[in-house]
Amino acid sequence: MSCPICGKDADPKYRPFCSKRCADVDLARWLNGSYVIPGDIAEEEERAPTGPAGDDTPPGKPH
C-alpha cells in the first residue's frame, strides 16, 4: 500500500501513511476543511436546531 499523501510505501507504524509527517499533513487537511464529503448544502430548516446563542441543547430540555 502506498501513502495517500506522498506515494511512498506505507510504514506499518503510521499505516496507511509512510511517516508521522504525512499523517499530520492529512490531519491538518481534515481540520482546516480541505476534505469535504460531497453533497447538497442543507436548507436552513433542515439544519439541526440550536438553543439560544448557538447552545447545542435540544429544544425543551433543561440545561
The domains of the chain are located at: 1-33
Q: How large is the average pLDDT for residues 32-58?
A: 71
- Per the annotation, does 38 bind a ligand? no
Q: How large is the average pLDDT for residues 56-61?
A: 64
Q: Position of cell 447545542? A: 56
Which pLDDT belongs to residue 13? 97
- Per the annotation, does 62 bind a ligand? no
Contact predicate 3/9, CB 8 Å? yes
Task: Return d(Cα 42, Cα 60) in angstroms, integer.
Answer: 23
Is residue 43 over pLDDT 80? no
- Per the annotation, does 22 bind a ligand? yes
Highest mean pLDDT among 5-9, 37-41, 46-50: 5-9
Is residue 41 over pLDDT 80? no
- Per the annotation, does 1 bind a ligand? no
